[in-house]
Structure 1
Amino acid sequence: MGYVYVEAVFYNPFDYTEFVQGRRRLEDVRRNVLKALVDTGATFPALPEDVVEKLGLPIHGEVEAETATDREKVKLALTVIQIEDRIAASYVIVRPRGATPLVGVVALEQMGFRVDPVTGKLIKGLPLML
C-alpha cells in the first residue's frame, strides 16, 4: 500500500474552544496545517516539539510508551485535529524537533476515518462506538 499522508490542521484546544463558544474568531485560533503521515500502527498522533511549542499546546505529563524504535518516556499534550470536515480532540505525543507529524488510530476512529488498503486513501465512515 505505501505511505498515506493527509493534510491535517492542529489547533490550540483552548483557542478552539473559545472559537466554538463564539468568543474568538477562527483566524485568531493558533493552528498549524501540516502534511501528516497516517500511521495505523500508532495509537496517538505525534507532533514535533517545535510545533507543540508554537501552538502553545498544554502538556499533560509524561508516560512510558512503546515507540517505533524503543520504549521511552514521552510527553503528552492536548490538541484539536481537523482532517477534511471532521474534528477530534486528542492527546498527542511530543516528538523531537524535525520528526514527521503522525495521525494515529485514536484520532482516525474519533473522526470516523479508515484507510482503504487498496487505494491508500482515507474513507469516511461513522465513528466507532465500541
Structure 2
Amino acid sequence: MGYIYVDAVLYNPIDYTEFVEDRRRFEDVRRATLKSLVDTGATFPALPEDVVEKLGLPIHGEAETETATGREKVRLALAIIQIEDRIAASYVIVRPRGTTPLIGVVALEQMGFRVDPVTGKLVKGLPLML
C-alpha cells in the first residue's frame, strides 16, 4: 500500500464555534484546505507552524512525545478538522515550517474513517466511542 493523501479543511476552533452559534459569518472563519498525509502510525494530527500561525490556532501547552525522530517536547494546538462531510475537534502537534500536514488515528476515529489496506483509501464507518 502506498501513501494516502486527503484534502482536509482545518478551522480555527473559536471562529468555527462562533459560526455555529450564529455569531460569525462563515466567510470570516479562518480556515485552510491542505493536502494531508493519512498516517495510521501517528496518534494526533500534525500541522506546520506557519499554518498554525495563519489560522490563529490556540496553543494549549507542551507535551513530551515519541515521534519518528525520537523523543521530543512538542507544542499542542487545538483545531477543527473536516474530511469530506465529517468533522472532529482535535489537538494537533505543531511541527516545523514546511513539514507535511498529517492526519493521525485520533481524528480519523473521531470521524469514523478507517483505512482500507487493499484500496489504500479512506472508508466511512461509525466513529469509535469506546
Counterpart of 2:118 in structure 1 is 118
Q: Does 1:127 align with 2:127?
A: yes
**Superposition pairs of residues 50-69 of structure 1, within 5 angstroms:** 50-69=50-69
Name the CA distance, whole Å, in 2 between partners of 1:129 and 1:67: 26
Shift of 1:122: 0.4
Shift of 1:31: 0.2
Shift of 1:111: 0.2
Counterpart of 1:17 in structure 2 is 17
CA deviations on 1:42-96 (whole Å, 9 max, x unpaired) are 0000000000000000000000010011100000000000000000000000000
Counterpart of 2:108 in structure 1 is 108
Name the CA distance, whole Å, in 1 between partners of 2:122 and 2:26: 26
Aligned length: 130
TM-score, with structure 1 as normaliser: 0.99
Q: Percent identity?
A: 85
Unaligned runs of 5+ in 1: none
Name the CA distance, whole Å, in 1 between partners of 2:41 and 2:60: 23
Name the CA distance, whole Å, in 2 between partners of 1:129 and 1:10: 23
SS at match of 1:41: coil
Name the CA distance, whole Å, in 2 between partners of 1:60 and 1:37: 23
Counterpart of 1:94 in structure 2 is 94
SS at match of 2:54: helix
Unaligned runs of 5+ in 2: none
Counterpart of 2:7 in structure 1 is 7
The list of structure 1 runs, each at least 4 consecutive aligned residues, that deviate by more than 2 angstroms after superposition, is: none
Name the CA distance, whole Å, in 2 between partners of 1:68 and 1:128: 26
SS at match of 2:129: coil
Name the CA distance, whole Å, in 2 between partners of 1:129 and 1:33: 27
Shift of 1:27: 1.2
Name the CA distance, whole Å, in 1 between partners of 2:29 and 2:113: 25
SS at match of 1:107: helix
**Superposition pairs of residues 23-42 of structure 1, within 5 angstroms:** 23-42=23-42
Counterpart of 2:77 in structure 1 is 77
